[in-house]
């Protein structure tokens, strides 16, 4: 099924009122009560329509309208414990996927609640067919619906969105060490980053991936790890269920870094992990702008 690309549409601003004479304005101001101060623009009860008549659905995350188009689940396979690997057709919207770390919104039915899902395939990997891969954790809501969707199931999808990982800001000439931290399904955009080649791991002194999950059974993309290591990414698995703690614990025990001046990091996963790793890095002098996230 061909899918229509999704775009954000901005509604035109209201036209400005013609200024009244000074005396009239003063009189009107004296009669009307002071307007309350608003911290956010009020939302209209009616749903906005695009110029083409397609319904737009506002999302609370950024407040901008998001247009959904028809998509289709092509494949749905178990990747690891509680994780499903899906190939989803999003049509021409796939051309908007240009940076590893971007995501799509997806939902079932016009009134369904949209979920956010990072793209696991590399940018351009199957752009000709308009297909992207997702790694989805079975945890209720839209994620649960995706995990149980059969091949051929219809789903509404947005175009790829988000800033992605700006690895162009950490070129090998300035950054000799890149430390990557991922937990659970957070490995999804990290896979896209590594396999896209934009990390230029072979041109750096040290590129490490600390990959934390509960057990080997929970480790997604395990069969791809040998290829990642061959490409110059050393993978350090951390299994919390086997008493190894979390990725921040494994890194803190032995950083293996002698020159912090050329270090950058990429983070994707649990908030607590990201905060702990960021504190470890900044306390050793790594600038915040060299700690990359995709949100």
Give a yes or no: residue 50 inside a domain.
no
How confident is the model over 189-232, as pLDDT tens digits?
999 999 999 999 999 999 999 999 999 999 999 999 999 999 99
Same domain, 73 and 171: no
Last residue of a domain, one of 113, 130, 157: 157
Give a yes or no: residue 60 inside a domain.
yes
Same domain, 182 and 86: no
- pLDDT recorded at residue 42: 39
Instruction: Please tell me the total number of residues recorded for the chain in this structure.
Output: 295
How confident is the model over 9-34, as pLDDT tens digits?
333 333 333 333 343 344 334 334 44
How confident is the model over 246-276, as pLDDT tens digits?
999 999 999 999 999 999 999 999 999 999 9
Q: Where are the alpha helices (DSSP H) in 33-186?
A: 141-147
Same domain, 230 and 269: yes
Same domain, 219 and 251: yes
Same domain, 216 and 264: yes
Give a yes or no: residue 39 inside a domain.
no
- Residue 63's pLDDT band (boundaries 50, 70, 90)? low
- Residue 174's pLDDT band (boundaries 50, 70, 90)? very high
Give a yes or no: residue 42 inside a domain.
no
Last residue of a domain, one of 137, 157, 177: 157
How many CB atoms are closer than 10 A to CB 201?
A: 22
What is the maximum span of the chain, computed from C-alpha positions, in angstroms? 78
User: Strand pairing partners for 77?
Assistant: 85
Distances (CA, A) of 162 to 28, 42, 103, 104, 181: 46, 24, 6, 8, 19
Q: Which helix (H) or strand (E) holds 227?
A: helix 225-230
Q: Are strands 65-67 and 69-80 parallel, antiparallel or unpaired?
A: unpaired
pTM for the whole structure: 0.78
How many CB atoms are closer than 10 A to CB 254?
A: 7
Handedness of CA 166, 172, 174, 176 (dihedral sign): positive
- Domain residues for the domain of 249 are 167-292
Calpha distance 286→295 (Å, rounded) = 19
**Could you tell me the two tokens for 139?**
């945890």
Give a yes or no: residue 141 inside a domain.
yes
Q: Is 80 exceeded by the pLDDT of residue 78?
A: yes
Same domain, 76 and 193: no
Same domain, 230 and 212: yes
What's the structural domain count of the chain?
Answer: 2
Give a yes or no: residue 272 inside a domain.
yes
Give a yes or no: residue 32 inside a domain.
no
Same domain, 173 and 215: yes
Last residue of a domain, one of 106, 135, 157: 157
- pLDDT recorded at residue 12: 38
Q: What is the mean pLDDT of the chain?
A: 84
Burial of 225 (0-12, 13-18, 19+ CB in 10 A): middle
Give a yes or no: residue 1 inside a domain.
no
């Amino acid at each position: 099924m061909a899918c229509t690309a999704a775009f954000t549409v901005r509604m035109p601003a209201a036209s400005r009122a013609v200024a009244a004479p000074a005396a009239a304005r003063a009189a009107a101001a004296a009669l009307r009560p002071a307007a309350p101060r608003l911290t956010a623009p009020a939302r209209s009860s009616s749903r906005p329509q695009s110029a083409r008549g397609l319904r737009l659905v506002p999302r609370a995350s950024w407040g901008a309208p998001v247009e959904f188009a028809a998509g289709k689940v092509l494949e749905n396979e178990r990747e690891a414990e509680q994780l499903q690997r899906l190939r989803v057709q999003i049509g021409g919207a796939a051309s908007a996927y240009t940076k590893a770390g971007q995501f799509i919104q997806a939902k079932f039915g016009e009134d369904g609640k949209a979920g956010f899902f990072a793209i696991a395939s590399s940018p351009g990997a199957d752009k000709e067919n308009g297909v992207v891969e997702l790694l989805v954790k079975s945890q209720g809501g839209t994620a649960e619906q995706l995990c149980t969707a059969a091949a051929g199931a219809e789903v509404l999808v947005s175009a790829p969105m988000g800033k992605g990982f700006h690895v162009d800001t950490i070129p090998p000439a300035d950054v000799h060490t890149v430390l990557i931290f991922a937990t659970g399904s957070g490995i999804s955009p990290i896979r896209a980053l590594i396999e896209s080649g934009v990390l230029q791991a072979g041109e750096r002194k040290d590129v490490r991936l600390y990959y934390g999950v509960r057990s080997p059974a929970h480790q997604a993309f395990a069969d791809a790890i040998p290829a990642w290591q061959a490409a110059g990414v050393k993978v350090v698995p951390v299994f919390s269920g086997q008493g190894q703690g979390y990725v921040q614990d494994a890194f803190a025990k032995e950083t293996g870094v002698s020159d912090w001046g050329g270090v950058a990091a990429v983070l994707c996963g649990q908030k607590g992990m990201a905060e702990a790793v960021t504190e470890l890095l900044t306390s050793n002098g790594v600038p915040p702008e060299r700690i990359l996230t995709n949100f």
